[in-house]
Amino acid sequence: MDRFYIKFRPSFFILILLMIALNYLEQFFIAYFFMAVHEALHMALAKEYGGRIRGVTFMPVGLKADIQELENISLVKRTAVLGIPPVFNIVLGILFKDSFVGIVNILIGIFNLMPVYPLDGSRLLLYMGGYMWGTLRANRLIGNISVIFCVSFIIIGSLQLALLSYNPSLLLAAAYIIRESKKYEQATAYYFYKTLMTKSRSIYACKIIAANGLTDIKSIINRMSIDYYTLIAVRDKDITVEITEDTLRSFVEKQGIDHNLVDILSDLSYYNR
C-alpha cells in the first residue's frame, strides 16, 4: 500500500512572503483554511465512493488532492465527488455573505466551478461532456476554454493593477492556469487511452456509432468515452458490419491509429478491399 504523502510547492512559500509584504497574511490563511476544507471534502467523498487517495500538495492557490481510480466509480458518484465541495463553499458563503468568510467561500466555489484546467469545473465538463460527445473531444474543448480564460485573467488583472489598488490575485490565477492547463490536457489524453485499454468495471452502458468504411479511426476514438462501451456499425459496400470497442483497440495496438475502419474489416477478413 502506498504511503499518504504531503508535498509543498516552492511557490507556496514564495506567496506567503508576498502576502506578508502586502499585509494580507491573515486573509490568506483564512482563505487557505476554507480551500483546505474544500479539498478535504473531495477526499472524503472519493474515499467513500471507492476512489484512492494518494496524497495532497500545497500550492499557491490552494491544495491539490491526488485522487485516483475515479474512473472505476459511476458518473453520478464522480459528479458528486467533484461538484459537492464547490457547492458547499457557495452555500457557506451565502450563509455568511456579510463577512470576509462569506466572500472568500463564494469566490472559492465560483472559481472552482469554472470549466478551466485543473479546476473542478473542468473535470465535471470532461466527464459529462465525455459521456455526450466523447472524452477526447471534451478534453480539447476544455483546453481551448482554458486559454480563453487565461488571456481574460491577464487582461483584467493588468487593468486591475494599473487602475485600482495593488491586488495580484487575477494575475496569480492566470499564471497558475498557464502552468497547469496544458499539462492537465495532455495528462487527460493519456489517462483516456490508459483507461480505454484497461476498463475495469464489470458493467457499462453501450453506445452505437454509425459510420462508413472510410471514416478514420481517430474520429471514432475522439467520440469514445470511459463511461460506456462503444459498438461501431460500419456501412461500406452495401453491407453493415459491427466492430466492437475491443476489436478496435486490438487493431490499434497492432497496426497503429492512422487507418480507416475499412482497414479493420479487411484485417478481420470480412471482405477484400
Q: Kindly indicate the confidence band of residue 108, based on its pLDDT and cuts at 50, 70 and 90.
A: very high
Average pLDDT value for the chain: 86
Q: Which of 78, 113, 148 is the last residue of a domain?
A: 113
Mean pLDDT of 230-245: 86
Pairing of the two strands 205-212 and 5-8: unpaired
Mean pLDDT of 225-234: 90
* pLDDT at 165 (0 to 100): 61
Pairing of the two strands 62-68 and 52-59: antiparallel
Q: Kindly indicate the confidence band of residue 272, based on its pLDDT and cuts at 50, 70 and 90.
A: very low
Q: Which domain holds residue 45?
A: 1-113
Residue 56 corresponds to which amino acid? V
> Total structural domains in the chain?
3
Query: Above pLDDT 90, what percent of the chain?
Result: 38
Return d(Cα 261, Cα 248) in angstroms, integer: 9
Torsion, Cα of 106, 76, 82, 107 (10° steps) = -10
Task: Tell me the pLDDT tens digit for each residue of 5-22.
Answer: 999 988 888 888 888 887
CB 95 within 8 A of CB 158: no
Please tell me whether residues 132 and 67 are part of one structural domain: no
Q: Which of 198, 213, 233 is the last residue of a domain?
A: 198
Residue 257 corresponds to which amino acid? I
* pLDDT at 84 (0 to 100): 96
Mean pLDDT of 116-122: 89
Please tell me whether residues 170 and 252 are part of one structural domain: no
* 273 in any annotated domain: no
The DSSP secondary-structure symbol of 244 reads E
Q: Cα 79 to chain center, whole Å?
A: 11
